[in-house]
Amino acid sequence: MVQAMRVAGQGHAVLIAQFLKGGIGQGIEKPMQFGQGLEWLRPNIQRSIKGADATLAEREAIAELWQHAEMTSMRGQYTLVVLDELSLAMQYNLISEASVLSFLEHRPPQVDVILTGPDMPESLLAIADQVTEFRRQFMP
The rounded distance, in Å, linking the Cα atoms of 69 and 127 is 19
The 3-state DSSP class for residue 88 equals helix
Q: What does pTM read for this prediction?
A: 0.87
The answer to whether 17 and 43 are in contact (CB under 8 A) is no
Q: What confidence tens digit (pLDDT) does each residue in 91-121 have?
A: 999 999 999 999 999 999 999 999 988 888 9
Q: What confidence tens digit (pLDDT) does each residue in 38-88 have?
A: 888 999 998 999 888 899 999 999 999 999 999 999 999 999 999 999 999
pLDDT at site 21: 85
pLDDT at site 74: 94
Better-scored residue on pLDDT, 41 or 23 = 41
Write out the E strands in 7-103.
Answer: 14-18, 32-34, 38-41, 80-84
